[in-house]
Amino acid sequence: MPAPIEFDADDQALLNQSIDYYHETLKQSPEAQAYLKGRGLFHPELITQFKLGYANRTLGLRLPSTDRQAGLSIRTRLQKVGIYRDSGHEHFNGSLVVPILDGAGNVVEVYGRKIRDDLRKGTPLHLYLPGPHRGVWNEAGLATSKEIILCEALIDAMTFWSHGFSNVTAAYGVEGFTQDHLDAFKRYGTERVLIAFDRDEAGDRGAAKLAAQLAEKGIECYRVLFPSGKDAN
């Protein structure tokens, strides 16, 4: 069995360390790397730049045993930060893990995307940490241009980034544009947003609503029109 990890007592550090573990797991997982390549996410720096990870049930092997107080304590705290569920299972098990980092490199939100298709019917493919969405993915990219591509989903945004568009970020779904996003646009002086939501009814409706919201803030908007029923990825 692998040697136990020495987890920090601070909750933020605990969350950061969990994402570090998932990051190392992805770098050693042919299955997860094949998933990325299959989605066209082949940029050699993508995994490292955004600290992508993979949750494959092995985190528990690095924790103290559940028959020890230390083991119960660390699992309780992992439930508190959202890495474990109340059931004792890893929340993001079987998922590509995409952390959202703040300016100090701390994890403030996590997105998980199941990488297998043979899942039990009704299993959610998309997961986040419990609670309201926080942070802006690829915030550093907002500093590179006054024109920003805004996707509906993180996989779509990573697709743009992998093909050379560093000025890209993502909402958390069609209704997932947050105050954090708006604050970041203001902070970096964003002047124009290219809304690259999915080309479906929900995406069109969400894009129109968001364009009106941003126009009120003096930000010019354009719609990226994919073929009907398609998205960036």
- pLDDT value at residue 9: 61
Contact predicate 23/86, CB 8 Å: no
DSSP 3-state of 96: strand
DSSP 3-state of 90: strand
| N- to C-terminal Cα separation, the chain | 38
Lowest-confidence region among 30-39, 61-70, 172-181: 61-70
Q: 13-30 pLDDT, tens per residue?
A: 999 999 999 999 999 999
Give the Cβ contact number of residue 126 at 10 Å.
14
Query: If you average pLDDT over residues 171-197, what whole number do you get?
Result: 97
The rounded percent of the chain whose pLDDT value lies above 70 is: 96
Inter-residue long-range contacts of 199-205, CB under 8 Å, 24+ positions, other chains counted: 199/225, 199/226, 199/227, 199/228, 199/229, 199/230, 199/231, 200/228, 200/229, 202/174, 203/152, 203/174, 203/231, 205/174
- List the 107-114 sheet strands across, edge first: 53-55, 95-101, 107-114, 126-128
Tokens of 191: 């002047």
Q: How confident is the model at residue 72 (pLDDT cuts 50, 70, 90)?
A: confident
* Helix H or strand E encompassing 109: strand 107-114
Contact predicate 99/19, CB 8 Å: yes
Report the relative pairing of strands 126-128 and 168-170 from DSSP bridges: unpaired
Q: How far apart are CA 36 and CA 164, in angstroms?
A: 16
Give the Cβ contact number of residue 199 at 10 Å.
18
pTM: 0.92
Q: How confident is the model at residue 125 (pLDDT cuts 50, 70, 90)?
A: confident
Q: 90-102 pLDDT, tens per residue?
A: 999 999 999 999 9
Tokens of 33: 């790397």
Lowest-confidence region among 1-5, 28-32, 63-67, 76-80: 1-5
- pLDDT value at residue 197: 98
